[in-house]
Amino acid sequence: MKLAAPNEPMNSGSPELDGFEIKNRPFLGYGLLMSSVIGTLAVLIYFGAWASTDRIENRALAAGITESQTEGEWWEDGLIFACPLH
């Protein structure tokens, strides 16, 4: 790699590589990023609702009452509401 002299102008453009050219915008990359974010959120909501249901069930068993009579925490109710499978 050649270093430029102090009074020699630097080329601030992007380097040109043989056989490597980006012709279009990276739509595939954005799609993959968004699908991984949505998938991660779906898994977190599912397992959070599972843990919330388990906590509510254990509190109801410990108190000797039914699950519908047990008051859930705000985040437990929110996760159970957000998950369509619970």
- What's the pLDDT tens digit per position in 45-70? 999 999 999 999 999 999 999 888 88
Residue 24 forms part of a structural domain? no
CB-based contacts of 66, cutoff 8 Å, min separation 6: 60
Residue 1 forms part of a structural domain? no
pTM: 0.64
Residue 11 forms part of a structural domain? no
Buried b / exposed e along 55-81 (16+ C-beta atoms within 10 A): ebeebeeeeeeeeeebebeeebeebbe
Domain containing 55 equals 42-86
Tokens in use for 3? Answer: 């270093």
Q: What is the pLDDT of residue 38?
A: 97
Identify which of 35, 29, 30, 79 has the alpha carbon closest to the alpha carbon of residue 54: 79
Q: How confident is the model at residue 30 (pLDDT cuts 50, 70, 90)?
A: confident
CB-based contacts of 34, cutoff 8 Å, min separation 6: none
Residue 74 forms part of a structural domain? yes
Q: What is the pLDDT of residue 20?
A: 76
